Structure 1
Amino acid sequence: MSLPDCASFSTTSEYDGEDEDDYFGEFYEHMCCDSLKSHHSQYCEESKLITNMHLLVTVGVLILCECAKSVVKKNDINFLPEAAVCILVGAFCGSIAHVTPGSGIEDMSFDEDLFLSVLLPPIIFEAAISVSKPQFRRRRGAIFMLAVVGTVLSSFTTGLMVHFMSKASSATTIPMLDSLIFGSLISSIDPVAILSVLSSLNLNQKDMIFILVFGESLLNDGVAITLFQSLVERGAWGPNGGITMSTDELFGAVADFLIVGFGSIGVGLASGILALIYFWMFQNILHPVMEVGSFLLWALIPYYISDGVEWSGIVAIVCMGFFMDMYIASTGEASPPATPKEQTKDVRRTPVLQKDFALRQTPMSTVAESNHYTNFGFEDEPTVPSTDLCDEPCGRGRSLLSLNLRKLLSGTERVRLSSEADKHVRFVAHLTSALSENAIFSYLGLFLYSSTYEWDPTLMLISIVACILSRALMVIMV
């Protein structure tokens, strides 16, 4: 919105061919410009999403969430899952903000980009590297049936129930495609409550029910969101505000769903192969801190690539997490420790590491006197960078010409993070995931007091009944 040129307001007027001073015009010129600027700043300029006050409130709510979760865990309140605790904390903070003058809840609204680009990737990636790969492979048939066929079946079943039940009731009739879109959204479930109950029964990933729920919840997010995007993009807004779709467009949406799904899988696998080559080139060279940072940064690459081309970032980062956990991160398999002779051989095989090797043979007192590099949180001996990376091509002696990708993918030649890096990778991934989940669930409680939220008991009851029946039907049929 561009402002008009205030100079267009003339300060003089012509009267009988003569220019006379117009003092009212001079006064009105400034008043008009100030009014336009005020209107522009109020209605046309976006307010800052992140301010010091927003950050202060966010940090305070996250601390309250952790305190409440600790109290619940200490008192063995098993019927109250962690997600519900965070929602209650958000509702409590929202009630305080609702009765406090001058504290608008709408100013703390969630930004869509913040949720999809910042908070969601750590949650999905942490779940992907946490699931037991042997148990997942063992139950892969049932998991894929529940995650793909079951989610699609649940989405359409929920949508059909919502449409016909709302049509038969006294509530507003929800159009067919609107109901299908709602079904695709609600079919993406969060398993935190179920897994917490199963854990209280001393079940773990070795038990079939646990791995089925965990694996299905890991994959159904990507399926549900991909289905939702395909339906919305193929639909057109009708005259009554609903979304209409022809038969050809419906088949086109199915084709888009398949293209997005397999395309996202391809992006995840391709990014995983590039990450494998990267860690192969710099194996035994990167400091554990840099290994952790590189591992987490590589995990985000397929997510943003897929989102950039309007594919599913969730499916891509799940594939990336599986690939990196199997080929790069240590999977917990016991491997025989290397002998001192083998360690010496591994260190000496690269000429540029000879200086570091000689430094490690010197007494620690001598190293401590001159060392000014600190290993934050790691137990390795202090090391001093010896040679610039530019001195040796392709990662200090490892050339791409000697790369045998077939051996890497078959497992003949293995690439692994150091034990310290692997331990801290999982810790950092779990930390970021926990903070993101706390922020999301607490906002759900805060959202209850938003003016954009309208209560309709009839439609809420219809939605709950449709969700329960569709999930039961999915379990029976699949």
Structure 2
Amino acid sequence: MFRPNMFFLLLLPPIIFESGYSLHKGNFFQNIGSITLFAVIGTAISAFIVGGGIYFLGQADVIYKMTMTDSFAFGSLISAVDPVATIAIFNALNVDPVLNMLVFGESILNDAVSIVLTNTAEGFFSRSDNSMVTGWETFLQALGYFLKMFFGSAALGTLTGLISALFLKHFDLRKTPSLEFGMMIIFAYLPYGLAEGIKLSGIMSILFAGIVMSHYTHHNLSPVTQILMQQTLRTVAFMCETCVFAFLGLSIFSFPHNFEISFVIWCIVLVLLGRAVNIFPLSFLLNFFRDHKITPKMMFIMWFSGLRGAIPYALSLHLGLEPIEKRQLIGTTTIIIVLFTILLLGGRYHATHPHHGH
């Protein structure tokens, strides 16, 4: 059985850490403003459109009725663009580096954003017994919680990375590569465990630890360990990605489904709509400030490459909704949307660009 905790603790960290460690830093930090805007504001827009749409359609008796909390929690979790799927497809295609950076950066940050939003929705709405305190108070509280998660996690990861650089600079372990490598692995996993322990986002902190460690710590390693580190990370990340997709496939058969065609179709429409309302206006806005413009073709690819993957699925299992049929409905719908975006959009994308790649 696919357990969300196993996914969040074992399979996700190596993938995220590796993508931070092998990140093209110049590109990432040149585009950090755009990436953050898409990841934070964009994901929030998408979550509101999907969540609001589901809530109002439910109220109008068009689809299964859900409370405000559940609608927004679902909207938040389904808005996570998956880095695993995106990395896998983009790496095979050699797309424009700036486009790659925008989508990839967004997909990594917005996992964290989506997880935080989902937790926020669950925490806030349920605490106020489905009667909103006052819109603004709740909103500001949620914003505060969100900023704490976002920046707290990033700071924790950065700090761990810097400590690892200092440690390996002052303790000369170059004679014993295995010990050196062991320390690197420990430092890599440390921010994840710490962040999760103090209720921050492990994903965010391990990403930033990866970025900082590849920039500073990597150069304090012996040549043997440098190569060993890169190759091991690649291998492990690749294996974890494969496991994630295998699990997704197997999970289709692992629990009783509750399939409602109207719910699924409306969700897919809302997901595509939410992604469009997030990408096109924000790109248009950003072009006023960017030297390297986001072309309409790039916008279209970004809208298209909103692949959903294992994270929405793991989050949907994490929600623990009551009653049981509602949980099954959400689980089933999430799996269908994940398969729809990966197979149809990803596959179609592959079909339209067949001759790129390695």
Do they superpose with TM above 0.5? Answer: yes
Counterpart for residue 110 of structure 2: 220
Is 1:186 aligned to 2:75, yes or no?
no
For the residues of structure 1 that align with 2:94 and 2:145, how far apart are their CA atoms? 42
Q: Specify which of 261, 266, 275 is matched with residue 471 of structure 1.
A: 275
Judge conservation of contact 1:237–1:244 (CA < 8 Å) in 2.
no
What amino acid is the match of 2:197? G
Larger helix proportion of the pair: 2
Mark the CA change 1:286 to 1:257 in structure 2 (over 3 Å): closer, same or farther. Answer: farther
Give the aligned partner of residue 369 of structure 1: none
- Residue among 127, 131, 156 paired with 2:48: 156
Q: 1:454 to 1:220 in 2, by over 3 A?
A: same
- Indicate how the Cα distance of structure 1 residues 268 and 193 shifts in structure 2: closer, same or farther if over 3 A, else same: closer
Question: In structure 2, the residue corresponding to 1:235 is in which secondary structure?
Answer: helix
Q: Residue type matched to 2:231 in 1?
A: F
- Structure 1 pair 245/434, CA: closer, same or farther in 2 (3 Å)? farther
For residues 125-204 of structure 1, the aligned pairs below 5 Å read: 125-195=17-87, 197-199=89-91, 201-203=93-95
Is 1:110 the equivalent of 2:12?
no
Residue 453 of structure 1, CA deviation: 2.8
Give 1:122's aligned residue.
Answer: 14
Name 1:315's counterpart in structure 2: 204
1:324 to 173, 195, 213: 213
- Residue by residue over 1:121-150, the C-alpha shift from the partner in whole angstroms, topping out at 9 and shown as x without a partner, is 111111111220011122222111111221
Aligned partners of 1:135, 1:468: CA distance in 2, in Å?
27
* TM-superposed deviation, 1:229: 1.4
Distance of aligned partners of 1:251 and 1:273 in 2 relative to their CA distance in 1, 3 Å threshold: same
- Give the secondary structure class of the aligned counterpart of 1:151: helix
Alignment pair present for 1:460 and 2:264: yes
Which aligned pairs between 1:5-404 and structure 2 lie closer than 5 A? 109-195=1-87, 197-199=89-91, 201-203=93-95, 207-236=97-126, 245-247=132-134, 248-283=137-172, 285-330=174-219
Shift of 1:179: 1.2
TM-score by length of 2: 0.72
Secondary structure of 1:236's aligned partner: helix
SS in structure 2 at match of 1:454: coil
Aligned residues: 280
- Write the distance in 1 (CA, Å) between the matches of 2:131 and 2:252: 30
TM-score (norm 1): 0.55
Q: Closer, same or farther in 2 for the Cα pair 1:279/1:123, shift >3 Å?
A: same
Structure 2 CA distance for partners of 1:251 and 1:324, relative to 1, 3 Å: same
Deviation string, structure 1 residues 283-335 (Cα, Å, up to 9, x no partner)? 463522222221121011111111111111111111111110111125xxxxx
Amino acid at match of 1:451: F
Write out per-residue CA displacement over residues 212-238 of structure 1, whole angstroms, 9 at most, x where no aligned residue: 111111211111111211222223279
CA distance 1:244–1:422, shift in 2 (3 Å): farther
- Give the Cα–Cα distance (whole angstroms) in 1 for the partners of residues 247 and 87 of structure 2: 22
* Cα pair 1:166 1:459 within 8 Å, conserved: no
**Residue equivalent to 2:252:** 448
CA 1:300–1:191 in structure 2 vs 1: closer, same or farther (change >3 Å)?
closer
Q: Distance in 1 between matches of 2:86 and 2:152?
A: 31
Contact residue 68 and residue 125 of structure 2 kept, 8 A: no
Offset of 1:454 from its aligned partner? 1.4
Conservation of the 8 A alpha-carbon contact between 1:157 and 1:470: yes
The Cα of 1:245 is off from its aligned counterpart by 4.1
In structure 2, distance between residues paired with 1:111 and 1:465: 29
Q: CA offset at residue 264 of structure 1? A: 1.2
Q: Distance in 1 between matches of 2:91 and 2:153?
A: 32
RMSD over aligned CA atoms reads: 2.2
> Higher relative CO (CA 8 A, sep ≥ 6), structure 1 or 2?
2
Q: Spell out, residue by residue over 1:31-78, the C-alpha distance to the aligned partner (whole angstroms, 9 max, x if none).
A: xxxxxxxxxxxxxxxxxxxxxxxxxxxxxxxxxxxxxxxxxxxxxxxx
Q: 2: distance between equivalents of 1:162 and 1:117? A: 31
Rg larger in 1 or in 2?
Answer: 1
Q: Whole-Å Cα distance in 2 between the matches of residues 426 and 115 of structure 1?
A: 22
What's the secondary structure of 2:26's corresponding residue? helix
Percent of aligned pairs with the same residue? Answer: 32
**Alignment check: 8 A CA contact 1:158 1:466 kept:** yes
Q: Secondary structure at the match of 1:453?
A: coil
- Any unmatched runs of 5+ in structure 2? 283-358
